[in-house]
Amino acid sequence: MDVISIRDMSKENIEDYLSLAEKMEKDLQNNSVKKIDGIISTLFFEPSTRTKLSFQSAAERLGLKVVDFIASLSSLKKGESFSDTVRMVDGYSDVIVVRHKLEGSARRAAEVAENPVINGGDGGNQHPTQTLLDLYTIKKLKGKIAGNEVHLVGDLKHARTMRSLAYGLAMFGAAVKLVAPKGLEMDLEMVEQIKKNFPSAKIEYLQNIDFSNADIAYVCRIQEERFADKYEAMSVKKKFRINPEYLTGVKDNFAIMHPLPKIDEIPPEIDDTKYARYFEQARNGIPMRMGLIKKVLEG
């Protein structure tokens, strides 16, 4: 049972994961987590803090053993192929979490591995477990996902979290507002696919940041390295910085989320406001990934 893309999941699948995360969170609070046997390998070819550590923490809390792959110390340095590395790690574990810079790498891993593969992010393509914990966070904050107005703000072209989340939000009936600098808009093909799959989806582009009607602002960084002109990059980053004045007149229960790491798109003074929920969001990765691992291993 692989977890590769949010687009492979039905609404019922996702609701099941949300329920499992809720149960896991209660079990953690009550110190009543039922342990399971097995070995999980974190096969990360790219740097990661939250995704890798939360998967490892989730696995430990479930009683699993963790095999940590470190690319710089592996046979990749000798020229071993991605597929061969996956096959070898597959023989040492019961489930693999893989992250790689190339789009489609997680699906390729699932093709060559006999055991389940979970996508921890493949290039600018998909990050399904991030979307699951994001939807779980929204449901916890708002009581439901449907009907909320969610603004996706930042580099929507390259951020894999945004692509997965836009799809999940539309599936559950949230209104999605896309706010990005010129040239960094979400691919029209992706938006059209969302509209095709969910004809009643409310998804539109906005030119400027305006949170007056927003329930959630989901922010990601502007990827400066994508710009040929660094002065233009600085100008765009300044415009898409969530300054305190943007919070004037917002709803009392307005919430700011972020997949992290944040650089300078959210200034430190925002962290201490009641609207900042991104650290809570990151902690929600533990129960969500615990439920996910349990489901993958036990069916």
The DSSP element (H or E) to which 135 belongs, if any, is helix 128-142
Residue 276 DSSP code: B
| Whether 269 contacts 244, CB under 8 Å | yes
| Strand ranges, E, within the chain | 39-44, 65-70, 95-100, 117-122, 149-153, 175-179, 202-206, 216-219, 255-257
Select from 14, 8, 3 the least CA-distant residue to 172. 14
Q: Assess whether the previous peptide bond of 261 is cis (omega < 30° from 0).
A: yes
Q: Just list the catalytic residues.
A: 50-51, 78, 99, 127
| Whether 129 contacts 3, CB under 8 Å | yes
| Whether 102 contacts 123, CB under 8 Å | yes
Residues in the chain: 299
* Residues 53, 55: Cα–Cα separation, whole Å: 5
| Whether 165 contacts 134, CB under 8 Å | yes
Select from 79, 71, 69, 81 the least CA-distant residue to 112. 81
Residue with tokens 């107005």: 149
How far, in Å, are 25, 29, 197 from residue 172 at the CA level? 22, 28, 12
| Whether 129 contacts 296, CB under 8 Å | no
* Residues 184, 196: Cα–Cα separation, whole Å: 22
* Residues 201, 199: Cα–Cα separation, whole Å: 6
